Amino acid sequence: MAKQCLFCPQPANSAEDVWSSWILEDLESNEPMRITRGKIKSEWIDNSRVRVKAVCKKCNNGWMSDIEGENKPHMFAMMNDKRTVLEPVAQKLLTRWAILKAMVIDGSSPVKRTPFYSECERTNMRPPLRALPIGTLVWLGRIPVRSLHVGLGDTFGEISNVPKAFHNCITTIVVGHLVIQVLTMHVLPMFATTRIKPICKPGAWDVNLLDIWPAFGNKTWPPAFSLILKGPPWEHHVGGLITRWSIGEDITK
């Protein structure tokens, strides 16, 4: 029996592409690819066409396909290193695309693991509500070399001496020259009214990244400085971006 679709009560009888065909065709990518989900051992697949059977045909071919179409114009430009002005509507559309990818990767883990994103958060993504998870922040960056990457990880934090008072899920996506990072925070109910500002490692994030969610005014991509793939300085390194939220003692051992 097929497991339930991540976004509705129907059986998960359709394979969702992590990378849409138009992305792979543009990047001309058919190389072996490594997938990382937090501390789970990395797995290699034969090519970049990653498909996960976690959704139903109606969702996959309906509103999820619409999200791809809505984002293709501005994503295509940024993937190909073209200066792009993102109005608040475009920022929200791109945020929705990135969170959708994060939810699919989060909910398709091959090991026994409770998905980070709740059923309510996933179902609320569907029309007509099209709601984004509360406590979500999204940034955009640029790398000088066209690449393809997706990684998901978890971090926890303490509030008022309560361990694991909040739980962050961080997803970093690279398509072409475009870098997207999504952080969603879940807080224990007892701290629901507490204003919490996520703290990350020091870095040149104010010049390496554009914050697009929550959206405030137009944003012009690329940022002032690009992320680098090799060598120092670490504050401009894409590896530093991926691990910037991993601070403090590891309490998940």
Render pLDDT for 238-252 as a digit per residue (tens, 0 to 9): 888 988 988 755 544
Position 217 in a domain: yes
Position 215 in a domain: yes
Position 1 in a domain: no
**Domain total in the chain:** 1
| Rounded mean pLDDT, 12-26 | 83
pTM of the model: 0.88
Please, what is the angle between helix 88-107 and helix 63-79, to 10°?
110
- What pLDDT, on a 0 to 100 scale, did the predictor assign at position 116? 94
Summarize pLDDT for 61-106 with one digit per residue, the tens: 999 999 999 999 999 999 999 999 999 999 999 999 999 999 998 9
Position 247 in a domain: no
Position 6 in a domain: no
- Residues 79, 208: contact at Cβ < 8 Å? no
Position 9 in a domain: no
Strand intervals (E) in the chain: 14-17, 33-37, 43-45, 51-55, 84-86, 136-159, 162-187, 210-213, 219-221
Position 189 in a domain: yes
Structural domain boundaries enclosing 130: 14-242
46: confidence class by pLDDT, cuts 50, 70, 90 = very low
222: CB partners within 8 A, 6+ apart: 78, 81, 83, 141, 142, 177
- Tell me which residue has tokens 């179409």: 69
Peptide bond connecting 222 to the previous residue in cis, omega within 30 degrees of 0: yes
Give CA–CA dist 88/214, Å, rounded.
Answer: 9
Position 76 in a domain: yes
> What would the two tokens of residue 26 be?
């543009």
